[in-house]
Amino acid sequence: MAAGEVGLQAIRYSRGRLQLLDQRKLPLETIYIDVYDSSGGWHAIQDMVVRGAPAIAIAAALSLAVEAVNLETKPTSLDEALHFLHTRLDHLVTSRPTAVNLLDAATKLKNKTSDAALRTSNAAEILVVYVDAAEAMLAADIASNKAIGDYGADLISGQSKRDGKLSVLTHCNTGSLATAAYGTALGVIRSLNLQGKLNTVYCTETRPFNQGSRLTAYELVYEKIPAVLIADSAAAALQSSGKIDAVVVGADRIASNGDTANKIGTYNLALAAFHHGIPFYVAAPLTSIDTALSSGDSIVIEERSSKELTHSHAGHGPQVAASGISVWNPAFDITPAKLITAIITDKGIITKPEGSLVFDILGFLNAH
Ligand code: MRU
């Protein structure tokens, strides 16, 4: 891949056609699935065909865009057009509960179409406003990821202990496969590599769904970025070895004090980083911030099927756990702001006010 290109594509879109790369099949098979409507979008998100907070939001928005474009019987009144769009957006939001990007996208799309309805009496125009706005989100996500990559690489490149090159640890998949393109935490790593400042990236397996070994490892090999895969359980030992200059992860929902929901196991990495004095960064677009929450206490954590633990291949392979065992399988955890060094966003770096253990994200947003 040439410098500046965006890498693998989780989402292929042209007006009226949406295809999603079936991430359940990676890394062994590359299969794109056609999504014809919002119901197909809902199932693709729920079944993990597409995953990663920004990619979920965009896939959902575009699934409704293709439905709107290909409708055989178009709404004839403004009310009908708004009802068609808004009820489907409300349903899409229920597909997965933890990442806020989908709720943020749906709210913006509802507001945009409601505003448009004040200026026109033409129902067809409302659908066009919707499709344009959903398509704009696709482009905006790529631009915002590149900005995160550049801000993050500039910030982290100061941390090097080895001849100006850094080694970083990351978790889950936050790359091209989790976004419209480029990635968030993996975008930072990609930018470091493009600047010649990356020594090695260590990626965790990310049990039980293995987003790290299946998806991140695949992206890193595909892009020839120097990388090493580790078991989740090796992460603390790796951090104690002195080989890691920084930990960089993504986010599914960030409360306004900086508490961050991200893939299960992120909290473990943050605790080990804190213990070993290693900077711990969260890289995410502003669309991952939930300004309605003052802390992470009320973030809803998705719990997934016990089969992801009792059977191999994230629940699709042979049984590996004892029959009859009870299972607790949360898909995300909350890392307290106290353990986070800084949040790298598309609008710059959020740090904590002097002497504070938490972030003032509302203050940052007001200033940007
Ligand atoms: O369950 P997933 O694969 O959707 O979880 C993904 C993560 O937790 C990512 O770290 C997060 O969504 C950020 S992706 C840029």
Rounded CA separation 205/212 (Å): 4
Mutation test residue for ligand 1: of 8, 49, 170, 262, the one with most atoms within 8 Å of CB = 262
Measured in whole angstroms, how far is the alpha carbon of residue 203 from the centre of its chain? 16
Rounded mean pLDDT, 339-361: 98
Specify whether the CB–CB gap between 138 and 11 falls below 8 A. yes
Burial of 69 (0-12, 13-18, 19+ CB in 10 A): middle
Q: Is 149 in the pocket of ligand 1 (CB under 6 A)?
A: no
Q: Is 184 in the pocket of ligand 1 (CB under 6 A)?
A: yes
pLDDT of residue 78: 96
Rounded mean pLDDT, 36-50: 98
Rounded mean pLDDT, 73-79: 94
Tell me the whole-structure pTM to 2 decimals: 0.96
Rounded mean pLDDT, 146-166: 87
Nearest C-alpha neighbor of 135 from the set 54, 287, 14:
14
What spacing in Å lies between the alpha carbon of 16 and ligand 1's midpoint? 27
DSSP 326: -
Q: Which atom of ligand 1 is nearest to the CA of 53?
A: 12
Q: Is 102 in the pocket of ligand 1 (CB under 6 A)?
A: no
Rg of the chain on CA atoms, in Å:
20
Residue from 141, 232, 245, 252 carrying the catalytic annotation: 252
Q: Which atom of ligand 1 is nearest to the CA of 183?
A: 15
Alpha helix (H) ranges present in the chain?
A: 38-46, 53-70, 78-93, 101-119, 123-156, 185-194, 217-222, 235-240, 266-276, 307-310, 361-367
252 is catalytic: yes
DSSP 183: -
Rounded mean pLDDT, 140-161: 90
Nearest C-alpha neighbor of 24 from the set 220, 214, 233, 248:
214
- Cα separations in angstroms, 75 against 68, 84, 85: 10, 8, 10
Query: Per-residue pLDDT for 143 more than 50?
Result: yes
What spacing in Å lies between the alpha carbon of 265 and ligand 1's midpoint? 12
Rounded CA separation 274/280 (Å): 8
pLDDT of residue 4: 43
DSSP 285: -
Token pair belonging to 64: 């409704």
Burial of 292 (0-12, 13-18, 19+ CB in 10 A): exposed
Token pair belonging to 283: 């890289």
What spacing in Å lies between the alpha carbon of 67 and ligand 1's midpoint? 26
Q: Is 355 left (phi over 0), alpha (psi -120 to 50) or beta?
A: left
Query: Per-residue pLDDT for 163 more than 90?
Result: no
Specify whether the CB–CB gap between 367 and 348 falls below 8 A. no
Give the confidence band of 161 by pLDDT, cuts at 50, 70, 90. Answer: low
Specify whether the CB–CB gap between 83 and 127 falls below 8 A. no
Mutation test residue for ligand 1: of 144, 263, 264, 308, the one with most atoms within 8 Å of CB = 263
Rounded mean pLDDT, 251-271: 98
Nearest C-alpha neighbor of 152 from the set 335, 281, 289, 2:
281
